[in-house]
Each structure stands twice: as structure tokens, then as C-alpha cells.
Amino acid sequence: MKKSKRLDLIPPYLFVKIEEKKAELVKKGIDIIDFGIGDPDLPTPAHIFKKMHEVLEDKDSSNYPTSKGELSFRKAVADWYKKRFNVVLDPSSEVCCLIGSKEGLAHLFFAYVDAGDRTLVPDPAYPVYKIGTLLAGGEPYFMPLTRENGFLPDLEKVPADVLKKAKILFVNYPNNPTGAVADPEFFKKAVDFAKKNGLLLVSDLAYSEMGFNGYKPHSVLEVPGAKEVAIEFHSLSKTYNMTGWRIGMAVGNREAVAALATIKSNVDSGAFKAIQFAAIAALSGPQECVEDNNRVFGERAKILIDGLNLLGWKMDQLKATFYAWVPAPKGETSSSFTEKLLEKCGILVVPGSGYGSAGEGYVRMAITLPKERIVLAIERMKKAGIRFS
């Protein structure tokens, strides 16, 4: 059987390879300290589980949901956005339920990208922006994110001939993999740039509730007039430790929300109703669980950054996300440093080059493991003589 040519465009998914390598080493009896996949190790809050148990016994929860989401879920999303960002959304036309934000992002391409179209993709970035473009027949244009520019794209450097073919501009702040943040001024620039060039501005806001030391991330929809050009993707995965539940939302520009809903209605049957009702409990219930999460991750981040700095790094403390974007020591590439940490220390990290060519020279460390393991990792690095120079 002959496979489609589009499959040739897709490299093995980065985290699949990492999990395979980890399993291989664990089989050999090696104790792996895993800073790999950004999957929270903390439990889903009890009140969310309680609601899930309650609604599972309701016979109506087993029926087909609507592909756009139950209206009660969409109202809960709109209420949460109003409380959190003071952004007003119409639940009926400006909110769409997703089976996790990754699903929504992947399907959006088929609503907007035709063969030969360009998308403006950050580099480094979450791989879906690039792969989704390629699957839809488009061509990504990579915007380098550099330390010198605060890991923000320089929009004015996008060539005019690229802009003529461009359909979508992606922004992702707080950022995966760099942990960088963006202020309202940057979001305003992005909105103005999208309006000027006829682009759909896509904001990936998966980490909006992971802010430390008093920092509160922003939404692009806080910019006046942003809904004219912007759609924002959000997820309950990181906020409420619900990665496996697969529930999220797309909000903002009503035409973009409707276009995405049209694609979804033809390829999936929506998120399981019971999970939507549990998500309502998460969004409308007590938010102390989010503050508790941030205390834990903030403490872990400080331990990791302080420990690396004692080994010669000069890194700032994290403001948001649970990712540390760590420069490789002099003479090391992303891959060689990843291999050295694994072989000499039993420490698993993700090579920055896996997120794009501009990620070369970095590794990503996800602090989704207990602080005792982070301390042990620093001790192993010290014992192995690994320092930044």
C-alpha cells in the first residue's frame, strides 16, 4: 500500500522518541531523572474529580456532544475570561470547545491554509505550528526567537514577499519551550501587524495560569480590537493538571471560531460531555488549586535555577511556565549536551534543536518532578564535573 506524500514531511514526534529512549534505559535499571515532557506530576484537584464522578451516572452524559461544545461549558469559558482578563466573549459565537488545544490548533490549518500559503511560525516553537502547516500544504516561515530580543519575534523582519502569501501569525506567551513572557505592548504590536497584513493572529495561551513571584500573564484579547483578527487557544491541561482529560477552548474572532467549528463538525464529535461538565467545575470553582500549583512549581524553578547558577550558569529566575531554557556549555550542541547528561548523570532533557533550528545550543528542562529529584540532578551534574563555561 502506498502512503501519502504528506507523511514524508513529518519527522518522528519529538516526545515519542524521548519516551522510547527513557523506556530503554529504565529497562537496563538506570535511575532516570526525567526533565522531558511537560506533563504535570501533581494530581487533578479533588473537586473536579468529584464533579466527573457525579455526571458519569447521568445517562445524558453518554450521548453525542455538539462539536462546538455544550453551551454551559462555553458560558463557563466566557465567565472565566471576563474574571481573569476582563475580556467579554459571546458564548454562542466566540467560544468553541476543543478536545485539548493541540487538536484545535491542528484543525485550524485546514480552515485557513491552502497549498502554497505561508504561515509565520516562531523558531523555536511547539512542533504543531510547523507540522500543521505542512499537513495542510502550506509552507512555514520561521521567525527566530533570540535571547537578545527577549525570545520575541521581530515582526518587522518578515520579508514582504512572505507576507504576500502569509495567512497566519502564531504567538505563544508564556512560551514553550523558552519560558519567555510577553507584555501588552508586544501583543498590541502583533495585533496591529496582523491587521496591517490581513493575517489571522493565533495566540497559544496554554500557560497563562503558570506565573510566579507575582507575575500574571496576559491574553492577546486584552488588546482593544484584538477580536477583529485574533483567535486564542487555551487548555485546562496545565492550569488544573488535566493533560490526559483532553479539554480546551478556542475563543475570539467569531469567523475564525466558526471556521474551526465547521472543520471539527466534519472530523470529530466533540469532547465527552462528562469531561465538559468537570471542566465547568474547574473554571467556575475555587481557584486556590491554581495558586497551590504555582507555589510548588515556583519553588521547584528556584531550586533548579539556583542550582544551575552554582554550576556556572547565569540564568534569571522563571516568571512563567514550568520550562527552563538552558544554554549548552561551550563546545556542546543541543544533542551532545543532552547525550552527556543522559550518559553521565541519568538526566533526561529535551534538545532545543528539536523545536527548530534557532533552538540549537539549548536544552529544555521541565520541572514536572519533585524538588528532591531536582536537587539530586544538580548533585549528579556537580559530581560529573558538568559546568557552564
pLDDT at 302: 98
For the cut 90, the answer to whether the pLDDT of residue 2 exceeds it is no
Give yes or no for a contact between 202 and 171, defined as CB atoms under 8 angstroms apart: yes
Is the pLDDT at 327 greater than 90? The verdict is yes
Residues 6+ apart with CB under 8 A from 20: none
Residue 200: phi and psi, rounded to 5, are: -85, 120
For residue 320, count CB atoms less than 10 angstroms from its CB and return exposed for 0-12, middle for 13-18, buried for 19 or more.
Answer: buried
* Of 323, 1, 257, 5, nearest in space to 112 by CA: 257
Least confident of 61-70, 71-80, 266-275, 354-363: 61-70
| pLDDT tens-digit map of 204-249 | 999 999 999 889 999 999 999 999 999 999 999 999 999 999 999 9
> Could you tell me the residue ranges of all domains in the chain?
5-43+288-383, 47-284
353 and 389 in contact (C-beta within 8 Å)? no
Per 3-state DSSP, the chain is made up of helix, strand and coil in percentages (nearest 5) of: 50, 15, 40
Query: Stretch 80-106: mean pLDDT, rounded?
Result: 97
For 91, phi then psi, to 5°, come to: -60, -30
Cα dihedral 93, 97, 103, 106 in deg (nearest 10)? 0
Q: By percentage, how much of the chain surpasses pLDDT 90? A: 87
Counting every residue written for the chain, the total comes to 389
Element spanning 169, H or E: strand 166-171
Q: Which three cell numbers stand for residue 211?
A: 506565573
- pLDDT tens, 117-173? 999 999 999 999 999 999 999 999 999 999 999 999 999 999 999 999 999 999 999
pTM (predicted TM-score): 0.95
Architecture of domain 47-284: 3-Layer(aba) Sandwich (3.40)
Q: Which helix (H) or strand (E) holds 366?
A: strand 362-366
pLDDT of residue 24: 82
CATH class of the 5-43+288-383 domain in this structure: alpha beta
- 228: DSSP letter: G
